[in-house]
Chain A
Amino acid sequence: MIGVYTNTTPVDAYRGAGRPEASYLIERMMETAARQLKVDPAELRKKNFITAFPYQTPVIMAYDIGDFHASIDAAMKAIDYAGFPARKAKAKASGKLRGIGVSCYIEACGIAPSKAVGSLGAGVGLWESAEIRVNPVGTIEVLTGSHSHGQGHETTFCQIIAERLGVPISQVSIVHGDTDKVQFGMGTYGSRSLAVGGTAIVKAMEKVEAKAKKIAAHALEASESDIVIENGEFKVTGTDKSIALPMVALAAYTAHNLPDGMEPGLKETAFYDPTNFTFPAGAYICELEVDPGTGKTSFVNFVAADDFGRLINPMIVEGQVHGGLAQGIGQALLEGAVYDDTGQLVTASFMDYTMPRADDLPSFQLSHTTTLCPGNPLGVKGCGEAGAIGASAAVINAITDAIGNNKLEMPATPDRVWHAIHG
């Protein structure tokens, strides 16, 4: 391998960094193999799926759980895979080349056990931190090291806490990105925020709840083990005795009547270092038409069946998948940094660089199959990059299927596709 320094950089770290490339190569190879073996591409993948877990790969990753058959079955059903040959024939009658392309991905998210990344040469540990402050009036502030720059942590993280305590989501606020306030953290990337940052929040919550239960038990003259948290109240099971969260918080700060030796206040911190990566996986199928006169690709349908473990906020997950798919499709069809022979960037403006726009994209059909992640208490895996990882191979597999020529580079511009058809 040769490494060079250059200031004519073609790409930089990108949504999914490393996984889109790997997944693209594997899924193009699977497709090519299926075509050469004359086996249905979906069938060939099914034959090769891992079905027993945990599964130690030859490299560091040990897959904890998954159900890849469930994903591909859901995707095939959603796109009516069986009906494709008839649709292809119909399209041909109107002069269009129709193709279908499958892409199955698995990725490692929830990065990462610090020990594991250390052994791979990382310069940092990849834990995450959370601090939870229950204020004297019972409102809750969560300070997280997972910065939110559009991923909606302000909603998802608040939901976790609101659901645990049974309080309205408006009682909870998220503080992030302010280094004057927030303790040291590792950040948002690698689809890790919920699996690692969310788990740090859960760990800090467990400490907060344990202390609050002690205070409630003391105030209610009950045994700590009899205290349950429901609808924002600490209740003594089997009785009608209860104390509301704000009163517990107030008691913690007035400190007039705390159990002997207890520190005042209700604020806890946790640093969480995961024990394994998480492994989101899924199956994408793309159906499209190529205009043989111009080489232009038009989408007919794009289905995604993902397994992200438990979904805390399905709408945010959907938004993440949409964005990821748009990026993956952008890579497959539109985007590319081009320099001329003198090193001049030719794609320096959006008049030349094709950023995907809404009308370049199909209406996505999303669905989910679920295996809960055993590695964290939330059962979550991560959803931020999946779309970008799985989409491009599905698109190129579909175009090459449509045109009957397997040699095609990304971005598959109309010019390139037309040349692939006509030579």
Chain B
Amino acid sequence: MYETTYHRASSIDDAVAQFAKGTDSKFLSGGQTLLPVMKQRLAAPSDVIDVAKIKDMIGIDVSGDTVTIKAATTHYDVAQSEAVQKAIPALAHLASMIGDPAVRHRGTIGGSLANNDPAADYPAAVLALGAVVKTNKRSIPAEDFFKGLFTTALEDGEMITAVSFPVPAKAGYAKMRHPASRFALTGVFVAKTKAGDVRVAATGASQSGVMRVAPIEQALKANWAASALDSVTIPASGLLADIHGSADYRANLVKVMGQRAVTAAG
């Protein structure tokens, strides 16, 4: 790791101000992605601004039809939250499937979304549920937030403060774990909104990161049942291929995980 200067921010405003002072600043949340990357010397920020201790960044709020999770809330806290388990059980389940206990106790939803790893779990829920990413400057709808591999709509120095999820009528998440990293080899989140719309997002599958899956959405709109996907084929083109999963295998997983997510949603 190269030398860096650590700052613990006391508030959201303080964090943004500290960030602006550094020549090449980075926000630090759970550190589960940033610190390994710094250790490998693939990142060398001049300053790291720790946002994980800011009171306004931690906590879960359910009001009416919206679940709001503040950005520095850990995966563990989301998984354990009775409020989330009740309002959007699929979201609590998703959080419980991230990595291992050590990662879940440190890693945060804001860090995960800012990082936008193509195999991360949260992006699938954010996109399928049509959530809104809140920053210190604005509210960004899920559609506009994810911009491809490790790329988001966030501007330099812009900080995620919370994510708001509309409570769906039904939702389910199914994930085939990467055998080594435990990220999603492919994960599919299916949601039926209270207005009756169907939204499906897959992570770990596409070369351009999290994606909506139109063929599955159409089939489920016609018939919300796992069997409705029996005749769906997912094209392998544009899908990721690596030593743990070829593109056609991932195409199969999009469908199979889609079916299992529908079964889980009920």
Interface residues of A (CB under 8 A from B): 293-296, 334, 336, 338, 346-347, 350-355, 360, 413-415, 418-419, 422
Distance of A358 from chain B, by nearest CB (Å): 11
Residue of A nearest to B252 (CB): A418
Is B256 a contact of A354 with CB atoms below 8 Å? no
27 contacts between A and B (CB under 8 A): A293-B252, A293-B259, A294-B176, A294-B253, A294-B256, A295-B249, A296-B176, A334-B179, A334-B180, A338-B243, A346-B242, A346-B243, A347-B243, A351-B181, A352-B180, A352-B181, A354-B179, A355-B180, A414-B176, A414-B179, A414-B185, A414-B249, A415-B245, A415-B249, A418-B252, A419-B249, A422-B252
User: Which residues of chain B come closer than 8 Å to A415, judged between CB atoms?
Assistant: 244-246, 249
Complex interface residues of chain B between 247 and 266 (CB less than 8 A to chain A): 249, 252-253, 256, 259-260
User: Which residues of chain A come closer than 8 Å to B260, judged between CB atoms?
Assistant: 293
User: Which residues of chain B come closer than 8 Å to A293, judged between CB atoms?
Assistant: 252, 256, 259-260
Distance of B179 from chain A, by nearest CB (Å): 4
User: Which residues of chain A come closer than 8 Å to B180, judged between CB atoms?
Assistant: 334, 350-355
A305 to B71, CA, bound (A): 53
User: Which residues of chain A come closer than 8 Å to B242, judged between CB atoms?
Assistant: 346
Supplied contacts A336-B243, A351-B180, A360-B179, 11 more A-B pairs, CB within 8 Å: A293-B259, A294-B253, A296-B176, A346-B243, A351-B181, A352-B180, A354-B180, A414-B249, A415-B246, A418-B252, A422-B252
A192 to B176, CA, bound (A): 42
Residue of A nearest to B243 (CB): A338
A355 to B181, CA, bound (A): 10
A217 to B246, CA, bound (A): 78
Distance of A410 from chain B, by nearest CB (Å): 13
> Which 9 residue pairs spanning A and B have beta carbons closest together?
A293-B256, A354-B180, A351-B181, A354-B179, A415-B249, A415-B245, A338-B243, A352-B180, A294-B176
A340 to B256, CA, bound (A): 29
User: Which residues of chain B come closer than 8 Å to A355, judged between CB atoms?
Assistant: 180
Size bin of chain B's contact surface:
10 to 19
Would you call the interface of chain B mostly helix, strand, loop, or mixed?
Answer: mixed
A296 to B252, CA, bound (A): 13
Residue of A nearest to B177 (CB): A296
User: Which residues of chain A come closer than 8 Å to B181, judged between CB atoms?
Assistant: 351-352
Chain B 139-177, CB within 8 Å of chain A: the 1/0 string? 000000000000000000000000000000000000010
Is B179 a contact of A413 with CB atoms below 8 Å? yes
Distance of B37 from chain A, by nearest CB (Å): 12
Residue of B nearest to A413 (CB): B244
A180 to B259, CA, bound (A): 66
Interface centre among A295, A347, A415, A419 (most CB of B within 10 A): A415
Distance of B3 from chain A, by nearest CB (Å): 24
A295 to B176, CA, bound (A): 11
Distance of B226 from chain A, by nearest CB (Å): 11
User: Which residues of chain A come closer than 8 Å to B179, judged between CB atoms?
Assistant: 334, 354, 360, 413-414
User: Which residues of chain A come closer than 8 Å to B256, judged between CB atoms?
Assistant: 293-294
A4 to B14, CA, bound (A): 61
Distance of B33 from chain A, by nearest CB (Å): 11
A394 to B180, CA, bound (A): 23
User: Which residues of chain A come closer than 8 Å to B243, judged between CB atoms?
Assistant: 336, 338, 346-347, 352
Distance of A348 from chain B, by nearest CB (Å): 10
A293 to B257, CA, bound (A): 9
User: Which residues of chain B come closer than 8 Å to A352, judged between CB atoms?
Assistant: 180-181, 243
User: Which residues of chain B come closer than 8 Å to A354, judged between CB atoms?
Assistant: 179-180
A367 to B224, CA, bound (A): 50
A355 to B179, CA, bound (A): 9
A293 to B259, CA, bound (A): 10
User: Which residues of chain B come closer than 8 Å to A294, judged between CB atoms?
Assistant: 176, 253, 256
Chain B 176-191, CB within 8 Å of chain A: the 1/0 string? 1001110001000000
Residue of B nearest to A296 (CB): B176
Distance of B118 from chain A, by nearest CB (Å): 14
Distance of A94 from chain B, by nearest CB (Å): 13
